[in-house]
Chain A
Amino acid sequence: MSLTATAKAGPRPSGTGPGPDDGRAAALRRTWRKASPYAYIAPFFTLFLAFGLFPLLYTAFVSLYRVELQTSGEMEWRGIANYTALFTDEYFWISLRNTFTIGVLSTVPQLAMALGLAHLLNYKLRGRTFIRTAILLPYATSVAAATLVFAQLFGRDFGLINYVIGLVGFDPVDWQTGTVASQIAVSTIVIWRWTGYNALIYLAGMQSIPHELYEAAEMDGASRWRQFIHVTLPGLRPTIVFTVIISTIGATQLFGEPLLFEGSISGGISHQYQTLGLYMYEQGWGFFHLGRAAAIAWVMFVLIVVLVGVNALIVRRRARKEAGR
């Protein structure tokens, strides 16, 4: 390999030649060899501590203070007042509920369709690379771009979707003011952007299932459908858990879609599709209450931990049940 050749051909480091300082130089080199790994992780960890870990931990601290956007240097102790204020705010509960319903509306169909698509992509197909690439295309767009396009497609009077609905013979839907309708519209954007991505993750998982399992199932006379249920799904369980957790985290912090769907910071006239992420932004950068926003962030964090924990528990219980059978 040319790589090793260049390494060998290079000049020897100082210290290989004999000299009076040989012992000291060798000691120095040994010390450096012990210390140098830290030099390699230093750039990452310096940034990681300053911009990653510190803000994450400090959020809990900030949530106990009164901090206003314009004077973010001044902090006034409030104890749990930010939290009690939160729990008595009607809009907090609305946004919590919206986060949950939009989360379910977007995650469940998204993962179900991804599973189906992955199954099809796993067949021998002409142009499979092209299909895989094309199906990932929505993933390459930004939240902002996708939402603006969909907001137009979902327009009440001149939107293409209402036009098509009209052709089929139904009344136009007000995608912006209706609670269910607007949440479906917002979920559609999420589904559109992420289905292809999840399909590829599932496809990767499916390809690691040994072919012999299918052969054995076929010899037992299992139909394609039964093979899917009894071979593919169990083999895919770790992958499914992974996508469920990742989608749950994504859904909990949904922000760009509800903000740009109509351009309003409150998530619609009656907050009908305001999510927790948007509520946090409204409190912090709309009303300048950074302390209150930090409390919301902390609630989101607890929510994520609980949801991920519940998911893991369900999966483990199901696995144990199956092992017992």
Chain B
Amino acid sequence: MTALAAPPTSPGKGRPPQDPPRKRIRKGGAGRTMKGGWLSYLILGVALLISAFPFYWTIVAASRSNADLAQVPPSLLPGPNLIKNFDAVLEEADIGKALLNSLIVSGSITIGTVLCCTLAGFAFAKLKFRGRGALLTLTIGTMMIPPQLGVIPLFMLIAELQWVNQLQAVILPGLVSAFGVFFMRQYLVQSLPDELIEAARVDGASTARIFWSIVIPIARPGMAVLGMLTFMTAWNDFFWPIIALSSQEPTVQVALRQLGGGYVNDQSVIMAGTLLGTLPVLLVFGLLGRQIVGGIMQGAVKG
């Protein structure tokens, strides 16, 4: 589920997607600069509460017993059973293995996607070759078609290769990101001056050398944003993993389905599992949230 695209109004040309330019927009006179009144704060406050409440509730429910949750009125404060519920999750769905699998899958997809897309993005941005326009159009054109629609032949392919239930069945198709190529191309068109490449060529540097010594360092901020977004999307992916993997070799999302799907009917244990499966990505988000917001405002992502 990675239909990714950039909105037509992605603001401004010639600016790398970084924090300082956004300030420039503010000072430069675009947008509105009116101050928000108390009503704005009130509405936004309510919106934030609604955004955050399900997370809070997960913690509350995960730290209580099933009997507590069947009480009216329900308790709204965390209870003492968190560790006990975590133990139950580890026992019933082998979530430890699932977490490890998710880490392997998301990590490989992130590294692979960022590398593949930077290479291709660089070629599309700065190298001249026959068929460049057509290939780029083809790549961008498929961005509008959800990958879900190709899932049946993909499954047949994976079955043919006897990869069902093996992590590479999720990793390899995950490396295909038309959005990533588009994103890196845009980034490099804007932030890598042609003169720099020409100068290096005059000095006798090969394209490979130019890529490693000039392109990669300049592309690094863009690669970081793409990496974070790819990691989140890969970690949260649900549709393809539940088709390609099973309970023997699950990712966290597949394991969560087992918890919800009836093996266990202990609500507090389900919530504890949900909490375990969400924590890593929340951690990433907590650390890098600002950059993720910046990345999304620059070149929209849909996962």
A263–B260 touching, CB < 8 Å: yes
When each residue 111-151 of chain A gets 1 if its CB lies under 8 Å from chain B and 0 otherwise, what string results?
Answer: 00000110011111100010111111110111111111111
Kindly list chain B residues whose C-beta atoms are within 8 Å of the C-beta of A294.
152-153
Q: Are A124 and B34 in contact (CB under 8 A)?
A: yes
Q: How far is the CB of B167 from chain A (nearest CB, A)?
A: 15
Does B226 have its Cβ within 8 Å of any Cβ on chain A? no
Contacts of B262 in A (CB 8 A): 263
- Chain B residue contacts of A52, Cβ below 8 A: 142, 147, 150, 173, 176, 178
- Contact check: which of B29, B236, B278, B282 meets A212 at CB < 8 Å? B29
Is B277 an interface residue, CB under 8 A from the partner?
Answer: yes
Specify the chain B residue showing the minimal Cβ separation from A52.
Answer: B176
Contact A3 B214 (CB under 8 A): yes
- Answer whether A55 and B157 are a contact pair too, CB < 8 Å, given A145-B277, A253-B1: yes
Beta-carbon nearest neighbor of B50 in chain A: A192
Majority secondary structure of chain A interface residues (helix, strand, loop or mixed):
helix
Chain A residue numbers with a CB within 8 Å of B32 are 122-123, 206, 211, 214
Chain A residue nearest to B29 (CB atoms) is A211
Return A136 CB to nearest CB of chain B, in Å: 6
A238 lies within 8 A of chain B by Cβ: yes
Q: Chain B residues with Cβ under 8 A from A306's Cβ?
A: none
Most buried by B among A45, A61, A141, A249: A141
Interface residue B73 (Cβ < 8 Å from any Cβ of A): yes
Chain A window 240-263, contacts with chain B (Cβ cutoff 8 Å), 1 for yes, 0 for no: 011101100110110110011001
Given A211-B33, A253-B148: A205 and B7 interface contact (C-beta under 8 Å): yes
Instruction: Assess whether B71 is in contact with A158, with CB atoms less than 8 Å apart.
Output: yes
Contact status A308-B271, CB under 8 Å: no
Stretch at the interface among A10-18, A87-95, A97-105: A10-18
Chain A proximity mask over B16-56: 1 for CB below 8 Å, otherwise 0: 00000010011001111111100011011001101110110
A51, B78: Cα distance in complex, Å:
45
Q: How far is the CA of A44 from the CA of B289 in the complex (A)?
A: 28
Per-position binary interface string of chain B over residues 46-81, scored 1 when its CB falls under 8 Å from any chain A CB and 0 otherwise: 011011101101100100000001111110000000
Q: How far is the CA of A43 from the CA of B114 in the complex (A)?
A: 12
In B118-170, which residues have CB < 8 Å from any A CB?
A: 119-120, 122-124, 127-129, 132, 135, 138-139, 142, 144-157, 159-160
Interface centre among A137, A196, A304 (most CB of B within 10 A): A137
The interface of chain B, by Cβ under 8 A from chain A, is 1, 3, 5, 7-12, 22, 25-26, 29-36, 40-41, 43-44, 47-48, 50-52, 54-55, 57-58, 61, 69-74, 115-117, 119-120, 122-124, 127-129, 132, 135, 138-139, 142, 144-157, 159-160, 172-173, 175-176, 178, 181, 196, 199-200, 203-211, 213-214, 217-218, 232, 235-239, 243, 252-253, 256-257, 259-262, 267, 270-271, 274, 277-278, 281-282, 284-285, 289-290, 292-293, 296-298, 300, 302
